[in-house]
């Protein structure tokens, strides 16, 4: 049986290895034995040998494997810090994620109908962040950080990523090679697959020394052209542009601003937008709060007039610019607005009967407080952080809303991460 190859730990040889029985899974995706003792790449029901001291140990050997153990599909698994759970069969893995979500809601005394989870398939991630390190003049080292380390796993494949991104790995390594003129540069390539090709936004290039030289910028552009990338930007500044990166939301075609947020998989986006649209059916006026570049906006505008708001002016401009591509909608107005410092007030929501919010990980505490004060009849919350969603949901429930149903969304495959969409009504 192949076993994972864990990253070496300084304390791994400090004490003799011990045998432990794994009884449950911890929140970070590590198996948990009494003590507690946590060990990566282990599963409930297994007897394993671990090394080290303290709560966090390293797996040495699986002595009695679980029937739910499967062969990891990635040759980098066990070293790469990107995935934690490739060794677990899909059904129990997904059930564990849903149960964790249920437990997070329960800690705020929240109950709701839990719908069958959407689960992303392998090879569907359209958005990845790849770290680059100095290699040769022709190709940088490129990949993900190793487990619990700043070292880099120089990847050859990535089974979570769309085949178009995987096929571009050699070209991305060439693209990154000219970025190391300054010794403090530690570039990250934020790669997004769009309808018009790969969009690459590069961060982490040292700028205090004046940024990249003209020669390095020329090499960057030449290598982007060789690879037929749609666009390459340096912290949002265009370094190469062949065509605008575009995505489709409902009937609208949106030109993505550099570095814009996009759901990690197209399948999850489709499942969430369909669910949100179904929950908003029958609305007369909709508020789309933290709207981004219009993931939900244009589907909602098929139902009713939508007012969209987001803190990023470029995202709001992208929505406005896409309106001409989508005739027949009920109407969209959009404004750039910091919904933390200046949430949409209850008084401004007087004519709104459905509100959708999709905030960053920190949640939408300020905006939720105004929704709780408002006369809005239905609220739909989209969240990448169940803990802050549960906090915000408690505010709505205390104001007379009921959390009716929850759609779990697993689009970060083989990680402990779970997302959700929840529907509230008065």
Q: Label residue 15 by pLDDT band (50, 70, 90).
A: confident
Residue 11 confidence (pLDDT) above 80: no
Chain centroid to Cα 274, Å, comes to: 19
What is the model's pLDDT at position 210? 73
Residues annotated in the binding site, as ranges? 263, 290, 310, 358
| Cβ atoms of residues 63 and 48 within 8 Å | yes
Spatial distance between the Cα atoms of 142 and 100, rounded to a whole number of angstroms: 33
Can you tell me the mean pLDDT for 355-369?
A: 97
Over the Cα atoms of the chain, what is R_g? 23
Q: Give CA separation, 2 vs 8, 22, 129, 234, 236, in Å.
A: 18, 19, 28, 41, 43
In this prediction the pTM is 0.92
Spatial distance between the Cα atoms of 19 and 319, rounded to a whole number of angstroms: 57
Q: Which of 7-11, 80-84, 184-188, 291-295 has the lowest mean pLDDT?
A: 7-11
| Cβ atoms of residues 87 and 70 within 8 Å | yes
Can you tell me the mean pLDDT for 255-273?
A: 96
Spatial distance between the Cα atoms of 54 and 209, rounded to a whole number of angstroms: 44
Spatial distance between the Cα atoms of 337 and 343, rounded to a whole number of angstroms: 8
Length of the chain: 426
List the domains of the chain with CATH numbers. Answer: 1-69 (2.40.50.140), 94-121+263-425 (3.40.50.150), 127-246 (2.40.50.1070)
What is the model's pLDDT at position 56? 92
Residues 6+ apart with CB under 8 A from 123: 159, 160, 161, 162, 163, 166
Alpha helices in 161-312 (DSSP H): 163-167, 169-176, 214-227, 266-279, 297-300
* pLDDT mean across residues, the chain: 94
Spatial distance between the Cα atoms of 372 and 88, rounded to a whole number of angstroms: 41
Can you tell me the mean pLDDT for 312-320?
A: 96
Residues annotated in the binding site for S-adenosyl-L-methionine, as ranges? 263, 290, 310, 358
Which tokens in the block code for residue 123?
Answer: 């090879």
pLDDT digits (tens, 9 = 90+) for 119-143: 999 999 999 999 999 999 999 999 9
Which phi and psi (to 5°) does residue 291 adopt?
-75, -15
Which tokens in the block code for residue 79?
Answer: 């070293």
Can you tell me the mean pLDDT for 75-96?
A: 96
Chain centroid to Cα 346, Å, comes to: 30
CB atoms within 10 A of CB 324: 9
Residue 8 confidence (pLDDT) above 50: no
State percent of the chain over pLDDT 90: 90
Residue 2 confidence (pLDDT) above 50: no
74 is catalytic: no
In Å, the largest CA–CA distance within the chain is: 70
Q: Label residue 29 by pLDDT band (50, 70, 90).
A: very high
Which among 80, 83, 158, 384 is annotated as catalytic? 384
What is the model's pLDDT at position 43? 98
State percent of the chain over pLDDT 70: 97
Residues 6+ apart with CB under 8 A from 99: none
Closest by CA to 114, choosing from 125, 126, 106, is: 106
What is the model's pLDDT at position 183? 86
What is the model's pLDDT at position 103? 97
What is the model's pLDDT at position 10? 46
What is the model's pLDDT at position 13? 46
Q: Label residue 14 by pLDDT band (50, 70, 90).
A: low
Which tokens in the block code for residue 158?
Answer: 């990535």
pLDDT digits (tens, 9 = 90+) for 199-241: 999 999 988 777 899 999 999 999 999 999 999 999 999 999 9
What is the model's pLDDT at position 147? 83
């Amino acid at each position: 049986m192949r076993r994972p190859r864990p990253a070496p730990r300084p304390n791994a040889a400090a004490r003799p290895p011990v045998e432990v029985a794994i009884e449950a899974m911890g929140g970070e995706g590590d198996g948990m034995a009494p003590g507690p003792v946590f060990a990566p790449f282990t599963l409930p029901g297994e007897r394993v040998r671990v090394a080290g001291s303290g709560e966090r140990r390293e797996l040495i050997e699986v002595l009695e494997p679980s029937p739910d153990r499967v062969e990891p599909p990635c040759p980098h698994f066990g070293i790469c810090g990107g995935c934690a759970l490739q060794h677990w069969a899909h059904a129990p893995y997904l059930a564990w994620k849903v149960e964790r979500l249920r437990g997070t809601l329960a800690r705020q005394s929240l109950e709701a109908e839990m719908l069958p989870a959407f689960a992303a398939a392998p090879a569907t991630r359209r958005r990845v962040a790849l770290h680059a390190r100095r290699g040769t003049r022709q190709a940088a080292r490129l990949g993900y950080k190793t487990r619990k380390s700043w070292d880099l796993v120089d990847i050859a494949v990535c089974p979570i990523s769309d085949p178009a991104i995987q096929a571009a790995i050699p070209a991305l390594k060439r693209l990154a090679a000219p970025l190391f003129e300054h010794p403090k540069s530690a570039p990250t390539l934020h790669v997004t697959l769009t309808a018009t090709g790969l969009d690459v936004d590069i961060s982490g290039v040292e700028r205090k020394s004046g940024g990249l030289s003209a020669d390095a910028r020329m090499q960057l552009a030449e290598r982007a052209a060789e690879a037929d990338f749609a666009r390459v930007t340096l912290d949002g500044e265009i370094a190469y542009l062949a065509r605008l990166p575009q995505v489709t939301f409902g009937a609208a075609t949106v030109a993505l601003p550099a570095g814009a947020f996009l759901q990690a998989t197209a399948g999850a986006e489709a499942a969430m937008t369909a669910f949100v649209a179904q929950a908003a059916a029958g609305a007369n006026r909709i508020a789309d709060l933290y709207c981004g570049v219009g993931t939900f906006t244009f589907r909602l505008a098929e139902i009713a007039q939508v007012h969209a708001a987001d803190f990023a002016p470029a995202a709001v401009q992208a929505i406005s610019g896409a309106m001409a591509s989508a005739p027949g909608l009920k109407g969209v107005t959009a404004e750039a607005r910091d919904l933390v410092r200046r949430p949409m007030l209850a008084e401004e929501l007087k004519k709104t009967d459905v509100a959708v919010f999709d905030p960053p990980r920190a949640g939408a505490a300020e905006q939720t407080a105004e929704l709780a004060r408002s006369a809005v009849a239905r609220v739909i919350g989209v969240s990448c952080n169940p803990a802050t969603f549960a906090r915000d949901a408690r505010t709505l429930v205390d104001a007379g809303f009921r959390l009716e149903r929850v759609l779990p969304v697993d689009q970060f495959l083989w990680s402990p991460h779970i997302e959700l969409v929840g529907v509230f009504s008065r």
